[in-house]
């Protein structure tokens, strides 16, 4: 079963918790045990599983990536000024897989699934959730 999540982002760089939407896709699938693949469509976005206790970890991720890959000076900037966004998305990666256990996401208490925006704000972003049964 496949579901496409559609939403907007508010800042150039941010992590958006999409765990409730992914959980809803899983619930709608009726699949109890298996795997859900969560894939960000877009060359300047990524998916990350990270701590959800407070916003400090998400902001630390954004801050770290800004230090590692600063804006400006990249060859791709000549096209549309977002060379750093492409590099950050490539470092984090476009997808994550989460096990399904008894119809629920197999995340720990402190984990959430985050959409990583590196070239926002965007009116429309899409994430493909593919739910697979182990049977």
Tens of pLDDT, residues 27-41: 999 999 999 999 999
Mean pLDDT of the chain: 97
Tens of pLDDT, residues 70-110: 999 999 989 999 999 999 999 999 999 999 999 999 999 99
The two beta strands, 34-41 and 45-51, are unpaired
Mean pLDDT, rounded, for 112-122: 98
* CATH annotation of 2-133: 2.60.120.460
Give the DSSP H or E segment for 2. strand 2-7
pTM: 0.96
């Amino acid at each position: 079963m496949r579901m496409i999540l559609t939403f907007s982002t508010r800042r150039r760089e941010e992590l958006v918790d999409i765990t409730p939407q992914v959980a809803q896709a899983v619930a709608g699938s009726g699949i109890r045990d298996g795997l859900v693949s969560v894939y960000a469509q877009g060359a300047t976005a990524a998916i990350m599983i990270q701590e959800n206790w407070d916003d400090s970890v998400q902001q630390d991720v954004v801050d770290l990536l800004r230090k590692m890959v600063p804006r400006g000076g990249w060859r791709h900037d000549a096209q549309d000024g977002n060379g750093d966004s492409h590099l950050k998305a490539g470092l984090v990666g476009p997808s994550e897989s989460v096990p399904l256990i008894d119809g629920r996401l197999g995340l720990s208490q402190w984990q959430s699934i985050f959409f990583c925006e590196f070239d926002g704000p965007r009116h429309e972003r899409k994430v493909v959730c593919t739910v697979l049964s182990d049977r």
